[in-house]
Chains A and B, each alone.
Chain A
Amino acid sequence: MEFSTLDLGLVDYETSLSIQRELARDISLGKRVSTLLLCEHNPVITLGRLADKNNILGREEDFKARGIAVKNTTRGGDVTLHLPGQLVAYPVFDLRPLGRDIHSFLRGLEKAAVLLLRGYGIGAQTKSGLTGVWSGNKKIASIGIAVSRWVAYHGMSINVDCDLDLFSLIRPCGQDIMMTSILKENAAGALDMVAVKKRAADKFYEVFCQGG
């Protein structure tokens, strides 16, 4: 398969979702090729379709007062948080040439994240029975997707250099886990998000186009 990459920069969550839905529709109709969207969001807490609202620790009004939006979404997975300094990758990919296999696609996303993180010297790994990527017992990448007409959207977030304290506002993915970031695990200095995005796109290519 082939895909194009589009860097949306710092973008509103709803805007990115509209772009994904439009792309997914066009891709399902064969009007466009699969597209990897890369972006960052202002602080927003999102709940997956079957999320437990108890995994948000605090009142919605308090978050609003702090400028943190709370959004219900149609992706799989529980609750998560996006914020500046976190790379969000939305692979709006046609799963038909990839074997119409949601499980395999999720494993592919994990693999791309593991390859990216190992490139930064982080001993990233997956955990059996859980979706996502860990560094030791701390989670560094979270995943939740939606599939419509066999085109995937939503995707994966990887903490690069972000305020990890904000994750104390939620139980990430409904689990009592600590979150970490590339910067925290590999204190080699400031990270350039544009460079991280470039590397991430390369790893997606490696996994999904070269059978990585």
Chain B
Amino acid sequence: MVKVILPELGEGITKAIVSYWYFQKDQAVKQGEDLVELTTDKATFNLPAPASGKLSDILAVEGQSVNVAEVLATIEEG
């Protein structure tokens, strides 16, 4: 199980809003593909899937505020 974690986006940016999931739970994802879009005040950031497999769980829904280092989803590799 690979955790999808919100990385550091820049100095002073501690949180972001989940603005768009490109995939739904249980869908197959490929490493490097845009997985989820996060939005800060003036920027959107597409987080790529860290691994290939099945998007087994989405822990942060669209509209939810998340902190850096927080787990957004899990991917079951394979």
Measured in the bound complex, the distance between the Cα atoms of B34 and A147 in whole Å is: 11
The reply to whether the CB of A55 lies closer than 8 angstroms to some CB of chain B is no
Of the four ranges (under 10, 10 to 19, 20 to 34, 35 or more), the interface on chain B belongs to 20 to 34
B43 touches A145 (CB 8 A): yes
- One of B12-20, B23-31, B51-59, B69-77 contacting the partner: B12-20
Q: Is the interface of A mostly helix, strand, loop or mixed?
A: mixed
Of the four ranges (under 10, 10 to 19, 20 to 34, 35 or more), the interface on chain A belongs to 20 to 34
B43 touches A148 (CB 8 A): no
A76 touches B39 (CB 8 A): yes
The chain A residue sitting closest to B13, CB to CB, is A103
A76 touches B11 (CB 8 A): no
A105 contacts across to B, CB distance below 8 A: 10
Measured in the bound complex, the distance between the Cα atoms of B34 and A74 in whole Å is: 13
Those of A62-84 within 8 Å (CB) of chain B: 74-77
Those of A11-68 within 8 Å (CB) of chain B: 48-50
Chain A residues with CB under 8 Å of chain B are 48-50, 74-77, 100-106, 131, 143-149
